[in-house]
Amino acid sequence: MTGMTNAMTVDVEDYFQVQAFANCVDRSEWDSFPRRVEANTNRILDLFAAARVKATFFTLGWVARRHPAVVRRIVADGHELASHGWDHTRADKQDPEAFRADVRRTRMVLEDTGGTPIGGYRAATFSIGAGNLWVFPILRQEGYVYSSSINPIRHDLYGMPGAPRVPFRPRADGVLEIPMTTVRWLGRNWPCSGGGYFRLLPAVLYRMGLTRVNRHDRRPGVFFFHPWEIDPGQPRIRGAGLKSRVRHYTNLSGMQADLERLSRDFRWDRMDRVYAPLLTGGAAAAAAVRP
Ligand SMILES: [Zn+2]
């Protein structure tokens, strides 16, 4: 325990909606899959309640439309409800009009369902980089306050290796970006924000990385995972390649226990509270966001 409060986040989507399976599952087939996102999210809410952890739930509009009860429980349990876009379309595959319609529709459905204002946004598959920084003013115009969508690493599906490792404004007229956490080591940024790496690598590496970010950088870290990651019994997707299967299915059975330990051993809160000083504006906030 380092004393620093970190940001716990969950990307609320189902097992058949992930980027790793986008080649073998078409959106038109989604309604034919048995959905497990509500039951899995309820298990996460139970775990957080027991551990007294508050978190931010970046939720697909598609999921909110079909599972309003779990969206209402996220809010009732004291967590932050936020937007993960409508149907997990990558932001870098949308033009500005399509992106605007997507984030507007998602925010409206989440606000109607949850009865709470939506300020946070996370793009599907961290699909914001140097080529589409125009999303930031659109997010602001559409009522959002921050984004957590850039991952300053090299990765085959996403990443913006030259991006700042700390909160920054990619466009002066846009929302604040809170990038995914990395550890600076040997002149490189190494991922330190959960996701597949958390299941694929020994848990001790993540804990060392987060401790270094808290102690050495004196910064909070951002952790993220998905409801399907605590669900070893989920139906297997046919036709998926080896890399996708390794990424998706490794150590699902150990994830719940790993999360319980992580909840105990570090301090966690909702993103809008961890970064509140940067989100309220003013000179102090402007100085603090300078990378
Ligand atoms: Zn996602």
What is the DSSP track for 38-74? HHHHHHHHHHHHHHT---EEEE-HHHHHH-HHHHHHH
pLDDT at 273 over 80: yes
Q: How far is the CA of 58 from the centre of ligand 1 (A)?
A: 8
The answer, yes or no, to whether residue 288 has pLDDT greater than 60, is: no
Ligand 1: centre distance to CA 287 (Å): 31
* Greater model confidence, 253 or 275: 275
Tell me how far the alpha carbon of residue 124 lies from the centroid of ligand 1, in angstroms.
5
> How remote is the CA of residue 195 from the centroid of ligand 1, in Å?
10
Between 155 and 85, the more confident residue is: 85
The band of 83, judged by pLDDT with boundaries at 50, 70 and 90, is very high
The closest alpha carbon to 235, from 11, 13, 15, belongs to 15
Question: Ligand 1 centroid to 186 CA: how many Å?
Answer: 29
Instruction: State in Å: Cα 113 to ligand 1 middle.
Output: 20
pLDDT tens profile 191-210: 899 888 888 888 889 999 99
Q: How far is the CA of 5 from the centre of ligand 1 (A)?
A: 24
Distance CA 124, CA 273 (A): 23
Q: Is the pTM of this model over 0.75?
A: yes
Ligand 1 centre distance from Cα of residue 248 (Å): 13
Burial of 198 (0-12, 13-18, 19+ CB in 10 A): buried
Please report the pLDDT score of residue 126 as a whole number: 93
18 Cα to the center of ligand 1, angstroms: 6
Q: 75 vs 23, which has greater pLDDT? A: 75
Question: How far apart are the CA of 214 and the centre of ligand 1, in A?
Answer: 26
285 pLDDT above the threshold of 70: no
Mean per-residue pLDDT for 112-123? 98
pLDDT of residue 104: 98
Q: How far is the CA of 126 from the centre of ligand 1 (A)?
A: 8
For residues 265-270, give the mean pLDDT: 97
Cα(88) to centroid(ligand 1), Å: 6
Segment 225-232 mean pLDDT: 96
Q: How confident is the model at residue 66 (pLDDT cuts 50, 70, 90)?
A: very high
Q: Between 239 and 267, whose confidence is greater?
A: 267
Stretch 44-59: mean pLDDT? 98
Ligand 1 centroid from CA 13, angstroms: 6
Mean pLDDT of all residues in 75-89: 98
230 CA distance to ligand 1 centroid (A)? 15
Span from the CA of 122 to the centroid of ligand 1 (angstroms): 8
- Cα 15 to averaged position of ligand 1 atoms, centre (Å): 10
Residue 284 has pLDDT above 50, yes or no: no
Mean pLDDT of 28-38: 95
Chain-wide mean pLDDT for the chain? 92
pLDDT above 80 for 155: no
Q: Does the pLDDT of residue 289 top 50, yes or no? A: no
pLDDT above 90 covers a percentage of the chain that reads: 76
Give the mean pLDDT of 152-179: 88
Query: Is the pLDDT at 283 greater than 50, yes or no?
Result: no
Could you tell me the distance, in angstroms and rounded to a whole number, from the CA of residue 283 to the centre of ligand 1?
34
CA dihedral of 194, 198, 204, 209, whole degrees rounded to 10 = -30
Q: How far is the CA of 4 from the centre of ligand 1 (A)?
A: 26
Question: How many alpha carbons lie under 13 Å from residue 131 in its C-beta half-sphere?
Answer: 10
Confidence (pLDDT) at 291: 44
- Listing DSSP states for 118-163 in one string gives --EE--GGG--SGGGTTHHHHHHHTT--EE-----S--SS---TTS
Say what the pLDDT of residue 20 is: 85
- Measured in Å, residue 282 CA sits from the centre of ligand 1 at 32
Between CA 126 and CA 145 the distance in angstroms is 17
Query: Which of helix, strand or coil describes residue 25?
Result: coil
* Chain segment 140-150, per-residue pLDDT in tens: 999 999 999 99
